[in-house]
Amino acid sequence: MSEFKSNSIEEVDDAYKTLHATFRAGITRPFSWRKHQLNQVILMLRENIDIIVQALATDLRKPSQETIVGEIGTIVRRATQSAAQLDEWASDEIVTVPDWQQGWSPTVLKRPKGVVLVISPWNYPIALSLQPVVGAIAAGCPALLKPSEISPATSSVLADLYPKYLDQSAYRVINGGVPEVTYLLKLKWDHIMYTGNAVIARIVAKAAAEHLTPVTLELGGKSPVVIDPKTTNLKIAAKRVLWGKTVNAGQICVAPDYVLIPRSAQDDFVEAIKEAAVELHIDSTLTSDSYSSIVSEGHFKRLQNMMTKSSGKLVVGGNTDEQNRRITPTVYRDVEKDDSLLEGEIFGPVLPIVPVDDIRQAIEYINAHPHPLTLYAFTEDPEVKQTLRDETRSGSLNFNDVIQPLAVDQLPFSGVGESGYGHQTLKYSYDEYTYLRSSVDIPLALEPHFSARYPPYTQATTEA
Ligand code: NAD
């Protein structure tokens, strides 16, 4: 595995020019070529499982099972499906028109937008880098990938593997940090796909606006969990929610961020959380291979600081290992609404429980904050479900489990408001990098039908 190395400006310029020339030459257009590149992505992942697992273990101590299932498996599945459905997605659409427009061949053409810039984050550095690339390939677009400098081992592996598998005239990796990405954002792209936090997203969107470049923003935020104790099984709910905080040590955009539960049920839920903590062996977190580390010292300190400042009562966890950047899944109860844990996205294995009067107050709390990426609710009550559908906004709304909804590739993945815009996965990704080109072909033989449109206008032609 090579050391992480930032690319030079000359290398960026070369990649930029090459990708644009490739697009203009039409190399990425044939479906057979796109399918071959998609298969090469699959091959790249399948033939390098050990290297990728090792890189993620270096960056995040990510357990191999989470890397194989959550990173490699996800992309292999989506690339396979994209190759299988590409012809169907890309086929022209003939639209239905009024009788007088028959014979005009009104068609919607699906055409690649052009060269895509993908800027990806560290938390799922394979899946979140390659997911947009798979979409770009399917759509017939070249793509330049800028992975995160915060997961340097994985970013280096991507740079090493790309030339061995993918057509270098169309798919390149540029590594680097803020200077490199700032330079990339000055260039004109045909689409920019950014996954990361909402502060940097504003920089990306402003830079894109200079060139009127369309942007997809996949962001995060605080995803709430509403517990309706009247109709849910608290034991299963507690186990599922706590599990959601263990996956990648809570460093996942759709991690449950905090729990809203009617005050009267808090004691029972806390008991259920304690039992779940035993079942999930969270006391072994600091040493176990089944748990990830916090990605960097900065993020470790940020979480430690949030925990120290919280006025909530500790329920489980609370242990940390600074040297290995490990934090036990930690739950606080009776967290007040002005608590440090409720300020920004936690993005770590810490769960505040916020007692509310009732479900109505939970909805008001959610609506008083930015629209989350995901809203979770544990309830079997159809009325509560419908109220949540009707009265809240979020990228997705999922009942009775956390994180697992991500496995449904066919659903659009996206945020709303502060959690981002644009969509992805399978056809939604294809659509994101495709533009719809309207086309009609009006035969010259229809000329007699148009006599009324030519001046001079007369009463007779207007009535006709
Ligand atoms: P990060 O720090 O790795 O940054 C993401 C990318 O932004 C990197 O490639 C980085 O180089 C680039 N970047 C850094 N500074 C920049 C600048 N000044 N201008 C342009 N680009 C710059 O990742 P992060 O932001 O810490 O990621 C975590 C956030 O991402 C969380 O908020 C999480 O919820 C969100 N997220 C969202 C999704 C999703 O699909 N919606 C997925 C994963 C993470």
Q: Given CA atoms 336, 341, 346, 349 in this order, what sign does their dihedral have?
A: negative
Is the ipTM value over 0.90, yes or no?
Answer: yes
Ligand 1 neighbours by CB, cut-off 6 Å = 119-123, 128, 146, 148-150, 177-178, 181-182, 185, 195-197, 200, 203-204, 218-220, 253, 345, 347, 373, 415, 420
**What 3-state DSSP class applies to 173?**
strand
**What 3-state DSSP class applies to 426?**
coil
Q: How far is the first Cα of the chain from the last one, in angstroms, to the nearest whole number?
A: 75
Ligand 1 centroid to residue 114 C-alpha, Å: 23
Cα–Cα distance for residue pair 317/280, rounded to 1 Å: 12
Element (H, E) at 21: helix 9-24
Tokens (6 digits) for 24 = 């203009």
pLDDT of residue 391 exceeding 70: yes
Looking up tokens 């966890």 gives 317
Strands 171-173 and 143-146: parallel
Confidence of residue 460 (pLDDT cuts 50, 70, 90): low
User: What's the Cα-to-Cα distance from 113 to each of 39, 78, 137, 414, 433, rounded to whole Å?
Assistant: 22, 21, 11, 20, 6
Ligand 1 centroid to residue 118 C-alpha, Å: 11
pLDDT (0 to 100) of residue 2: 84
287, amino acid identity: T
Respond yes or no: is residue 253 known to be catalytic.
Answer: yes
Angle at Cα 451 formed by Cα 448 and Cα 453, nearest 5°?
135
Question: How are strands ordered across the β-sheet holding 171-173?
Answer: 171-173, 143-146, 116-119, 191-195, 215-218, 420-421
pLDDT one-digit tens code per residue, 17-49: 999 999 999 999 999 999 999 999 999 999 999
Tokens (6 digits) for 48 = 């390098």
CA-424 nearest atom, ligand 1: 40
Respond yes or no: is residue 141 known to be catalytic.
Answer: no
Cα–Cα distance for residue pair 352/337, rounded to 1 Å: 10
DSSP assignment of 68-100 = IIIIIIHHHHHHHHHHHHHHHHHS-EEPP--GG
Q: Given CA atoms 163, 164, 168, 172 in this order, what sign does their dihedral have?
A: negative
Contacts of 247 (CB under 8 A, 6+ apart): 66, 70, 255, 403
pLDDT (0 to 100) of residue 356: 98
The residue annotated as part of the active site, out of 66, 71, 253, 345, is 253
Cα–Cα distance for residue pair 108/172, rounded to 1 Å: 31
pLDDT one-digit tens code per residue, 257-291: 999 999 999 999 999 999 999 999 999 999 999 99
pLDDT one-digit tens code per residue, 294-336: 999 999 999 999 999 999 999 999 999 999 999 999 999 999 9
